[in-house]
């Protein structure tokens, strides 16, 4: 299991729409190469190997390649699929796995006991240039909200709060297509300027730079299974 800081302009998976030229966009999987490996002690693999404290944890995955297989001239990690998605204009944490158990857990719907909480930081502006920001976000915490074109209500968010005058923190388990952008527009009258996922369960993005990835440690993987 590995985690990546997805940059803007990359697809989390393959294009869903028919007629889309798949060669027009690169997927996040193309960034899973040896140059973009990141040791969270602060060292990129293209400069040096992980710090001694991390080496024992990673040696069976990256350096011995016992569980990780790199293919092609770009030495790209193979066989891993994203467990979840972020749209092409969003950034942040995305997890890749070869484990069906973990993928099922991360893709579980909000109604499932296995659903995993996710946290987002969202910078917004009023749709109306002369409008103002709504102080009250409680509508997001209530039941019965519907998005256009759907026939089932949204699940209430776990948390929704202002971090500053232009940024909202969302904590939620549901994950419909472009859900946050649609909620901001339809329920709050806001346009999303930037969206970043910073946490999945107990896994935090922390200092991982954009476009880089690292394997999850044993405790992190266990937290996804047991949560």
Amino acid 47: pLDDT: 41
What gap in Å lies between CA 149 and CA 131, rounded to an integer?
A: 26
- Per run of 10 residues, the mean pLDDT along the chain (length 227 residues) is 96 65 77 83 47 48 53 74 94 94 84 85 97 96 95 95 98 94 98 98 94 92 83
Amino acid 110: pLDDT: 65
Q: Residue 48 CB: number of other CB atoms within 10 A? A: 9
Q: Residue 197 CB: number of other CB atoms within 10 A? A: 23
Write down the catalytic residue from 40, 87, 136, 202: 87
Amino acid 76: pLDDT: 78
Domains of the chain in start order, with CATH, are 2-107+203-226 (3.30.70.580), 118-200 (3.30.70.1560)
Rg from Cα positions in the chain: 19
Amino acid 25: pLDDT: 81
Q: Are 223 and 201 in contact (CB under 8 A)?
A: yes
Quick check: is 39 catalytic? no
Tokens of 146: 């519907």
Amino acid 191: pLDDT: 98
């Amino acid at each position: 299991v590995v985690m990546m800081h997805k940059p803007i302009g990359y697809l989390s998976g393959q294009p869903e729409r028919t007629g889309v030229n798949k060669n027009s966009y690169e997927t996040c999987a193309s960034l899973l190469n040896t140059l973009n490996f990141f040791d969270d002690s602060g060292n990129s693999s293209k400069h040096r190997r992980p710090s001694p404290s991390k080496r024992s944890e990673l040696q069976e995955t990256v350096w011995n390649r016992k569980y990780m297989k790199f293919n092609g001239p770009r030495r790209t990690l193979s066989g891993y699929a994203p467990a979840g998605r972020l749209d092409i204009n969003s950034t942040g944490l995305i997890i890749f796995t070869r484990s069906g158990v973990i993928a099922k857990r991360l893709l579980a719907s909000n109604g499932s006991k296995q659903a995993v909480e996710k946290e987002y930081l969202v910078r917004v502006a009023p749709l109306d240039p002369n409008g103002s920001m709504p102080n009250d976000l409680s509508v997001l915490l209530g039941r019965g909200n519907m998005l256009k074109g759907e026939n089932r209500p949204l699940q209430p968010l776990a948390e929704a709060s202002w971090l500053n005058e232009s940024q909202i923190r969302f904590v939620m388990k549901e994950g419909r297509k472009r859900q946050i952008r649609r909620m901001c527009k339809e329920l709050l009258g806001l346009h999303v300027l930037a969206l970043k996922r910073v946490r999945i369960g107990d896994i935090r993005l922390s200092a991982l730079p954009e476009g880089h990835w690292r394997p999850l440690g044993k405790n992190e993987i266990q937290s996804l299974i047991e949560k």
